[in-house]
Chain A
Amino acid sequence: MMTTFVIQAILSLVMFGFVFNLAALHTWIERKQSALMQDRVGANRAWITLPWKWAAPINWLLRPFNVLGLFHPIADAIKMFTKEDFIPPKADRLLHTLAPCLSLFFSLIVFAAIPFGDTIEIGGHVIRLQVANLNAALLYVFGAASLGVYGIALAGFSSHNNYATLGGLRAVSQMLSYEIAMGLTVIGIVLIYGSLDLQELVRRQGAYLWGWIPMWGAILQPVGFLLFLAAGIAETKRIPYDAPEGESEIIGYFVEYSGMKFGMFFFTDYLETILIACLATTLFLGGWQVPYLASSGFLFPWGSHIALSAFSVSLFQIASFVLKVLFFCWLFMTIRWTLPRFRYDQLLKLGWQYLFPIALVNLLVTAAIFLWWVR
C-alpha cells in the first residue's frame, strides 16, 4: 500500500514537474521563437552574475543561461508575485479570487490521465507511466477541460467590468463551439481503436498497416487530425483564436486582474497549449510509440532486429512522447506567431459552419468505412 502511494506520488511529481517547468519555459520559448521568426534577438537581459572573484567558475557556468535569456521566466515570476494584487471595489471578491484558481486547477488535473510511457518494471513493481489509470480517461479529459471555461466565465462576470463580461461571453461561446467539433473528431479515433482508455488507445496505435505503416491516428484520420489541431488551438485561446483575450485592443476577461492572479490565467494558457500538444500526441501521433520499437527492441519491417533492454525501451518511449509534445508546442507557437486573429464572426462561422459539419462528415465516413469495410 505504502509503496503504491509512494510510486503514485513520484509519478505525479514527475508529470507535474515536467508540465510546470515546460509551461514556465513557454514564456521563454514564446519570446525567443517569435524573435527568431521575426529576425530579432529576443529577451536576453535578465542576467545573474555573482560579483565575487571566487565565483568566476559559477559565472562561467551561468553565462550560457544568461546569454540565452533563460532567467527571464524567473524574473517574470518574481515580478508577478511582488506586484500589487488589486481587486476592483465593486467586484465579487470570492468569485474574483476563485476564477483564476478554477481555470488553473482544471487545466492541471487533466494531465493526470495522459500516459507518457508504457509499463516499466523497477524492483518487482510494475509501474504504469500514467498518473491516474482511468478506463474512461478520454471522457475525463474532455470533462475537465470543458470545466475550465467556468474559471473564465466567472473571471469575466465577477470583475464588474463590461469589457471583462463581454470577453468572458466571447470566451464561453468560442469554447463551447469548438468543444463540439473537437469532441466529434475524437469520436472518430474512439471508433477506430475501440477504447476510451488513453493508455489502451496508445497501445493500439502500435499496430502496423500492411506491416510497415504505423497505425497512428494522424495516418488513419488525417482530416480529423487537422480538425483537432484547429479546434485545439481554439481551446487554448491563443492567436489566431484570441478573441476572448485580445490583449492589445478589444481586451478580454482578465482586464481586472493583476499580479499572480493574472499570472495564473497566463499560465493556464500555456498549460492548455501543452495539454492540447499532449492530447494531439496521445490521440493522433501514437503517444509514446516509437515506430518499429517493440518491447524487446527495434523490429524493422525488412527483418533486421536491434535488441534493447526493457529499461532502455521505456526510455525511448518517454523520449518519443516528450519529443512529440515539444514538436506540437513548436508548431502551436509557430501558428501563434504567423496567423492574424480571426474576427469574432469569422471565428464562430469557422466553428459552426466549417469545422462542425466537416467533423460530422468525417465521423460518418469513418463509421461507414469501419462498418462495411473493416468489419
Chain B
Amino acid sequence: MTKDTILKVEHLSMKFGGLMAINDFSFEARRGEITALIGPNGAGKTTVFNCITGFYKPTMGMITLARRNGKELLLERLRDFEINKVGGVARTFQNIRLFSGLTVLENLLVAQHNALMKASGYTILGLLGLPAYRKAVDLSIEKAKYWLDKADLTDRADDPAGDLPYGAQRRLEIARAMCTGPELLCLDEPAAGLNPRESAALNTLLHSIRDEGVSILLIEHDMSVVMEISDHVVVLEYGQKISDGTPDHVKNDPKVIAAYLGVEDDEVDEVIAEELEGGRH
C-alpha cells in the first residue's frame, strides 16, 4: 500500500444467489482526491459501495482502509456501524435517507452521536449536567453550524428535514455525513435529480470538503459532473473493472466508449463472448 492510498479494494467479489454482481474487482483511492466510480446501470457500483460501507458482507476479497494515524483496517471484518465509528468512513444514499421528522439541526446532532455519547459519560454523567458535557454540546452545535453554513442550510436549521427541497436534502445528507468527522466520504449518486444550479452548489460543496483533506469516493451517472470534479475515475461494467485512470484517460478509452454508447448489434455477441471468456479466467 503506497503512502497516499486511503482505500484499497482487492479481488472483491459479491454473489447474490447465483448472480455474480461483482467479479474480482480491485481499485485504489488516494488520500485527498475525489475518486469516481462510474459505469452503466446495473454495473454493480452500489453493490461495491455497500460492501465498502458495511451493508453487505462481500463473498470474497479484501477492503483495506488506511487511517491518517497510520492504522490499517480491514473493513469487511468490521460490524456495519463500526465502519463509520472506527473506520471513519461516512456515506450517503442513492435514495436520500434523512431523519425526516427531526429538524435539520437535529439531523446534524445525531451524526455526532458517538462523540457526544462519550462526552456524556454514556448518558449517566450527562444526566447530571456536568460542565464538560455542556461544553461538548456547545461544540457539537458549533460544528453543526459550520456545516449548515457550508451546505447553505442555516436558514432552514429549525425546519423538519423532510420539508426541505430535494437539492437541499442532498446537501443536508452530505453535511450530516461530514458531521461524523470522516476521513473518507462515500457519495452514492449525489447529483442525481439536481437542477443545474443545485448541481453547481454541490460541486462547490464537494470541492470544499476535499480541500479540508477528506477523501471522496463517489458513484455518479452524470458524466459531465464526473469529468468536472473528479481526480481519478474507475469504470465498472457487469461487475468488472474496464478502465481506471484520470478523467481524460477514461474519456478516451474505447472500452468505456463501447460500454456507454453501446456497440453495433453484431459486435454485441463478440463483447459477450469476451465477457464469458473473461469470466472463465
- Asked if A pairs with B, the answer is no
